Amino acid sequence: MIQLLRSLIQAIQPFLVPVCFVVAWSFIILLAWTLWSAVRDTTARAKQMHEIPCPNCQFFTNDYRLKCTVNPTTANTEQAIDCSDYRCNL
């Protein structure tokens, strides 16, 4: 049994270094891709959230109980991006 195990290890040994090399680089590439995807998705989400015009609207109260006097349910949400009641406060 021990002799069989030694012969198996000696037979596999020349292939271990290339296999470990490929596995290690595959892990690094997968990690880099995951990080890149997370940054890309976060950036896209931030751009979308910055399109919400509520803080510059004259109907925005900045009070957590009543955010908007005209559309209180959609204030500061993605649904408010194309709000037809938006009036610039500036």
pLDDT at 81 over 80: yes
pLDDT, one tens digit per residue, over 6-59 is 888 888 888 888 999 999 999 999 999 999 999 999 999 999 999 999 989 999
Helix or strand (DSSP H, E) at 79 = none
Task: Report the distance separating Cα 42 and Cα 50, nearest Å.
Answer: 12
Sequence-separated (6 or more) residues with CB below 8 Å from residue 77: 52
Determine the Cα angle at 29 with ends 42 and 45, to 5°. Answer: 5
CA proximity to 53, closest of 67, 43, 42: 67
Query: Length of the chain, please?
Result: 90
Query: Tokens representing 54?
Result: 């509520």
pLDDT, one tens digit per residue, over 46-64 is 999 999 999 899 999 888 8
